Every structure is written in C-alpha cells, then in structure tokens.
Amino acid sequence: MAKKITKMKENLLNDFSQLVSVEVLAELLSISSRNIWRRLSKGKFPEPVRITRSTRWSLKDIEQWIEDQKKS
C-alpha cells in the first residue's frame, strides 16, 4: 500500500512539473503570449489551469492540441 501511495505522489508531482506559464508556452510555441490569449478567447486553444492567481497550461494538453492541429 505504501508503494502505491508513493507512486501516486510521484505521478502527481510529475503532472505539476508539466504545467507552464504563458511566457514559457509562448517561447515553446514560438508565438507571442498575446497570440495565445487571443486564440484562447476565440476557443481555439486549450483551457489553462488556474491556481489562485496563477494561470498555467498542461504540456499534455498542448501536445494533444498540436497533434489535433496537424490532423486538421
């Protein structure tokens, strides 16, 4: 049971480490942060995760969005 809980904690920490700010995301995608906000307001970008006053995006969601963009 303790190993299972430890594994769950590790997975949770890995998921949190995969959250990035709009500045980091803009750099990764080579677009401006304004472009990200514009796409988000038009419903053409993955929804961010809001933690208190911080806004972050899951890299898993962004990877999926990129794959979806390739298909369309």
% of the chain residues with pLDDT over 70: 76
Parse the chain into domains and list their residue ranges.
19-71
Contact criterion met (CB below 8 Å) for 14 and 58: no
What are 26-52's pLDDT values in tens digits? 999 999 999 999 999 999 999 999 989
- Facing residues of 56 across strands? 49
Q: What is the pTM of this model?
A: 0.74
19-20 and 54-58 strand pairing: antiparallel
Encoding tokens for residue 1? 């049971």
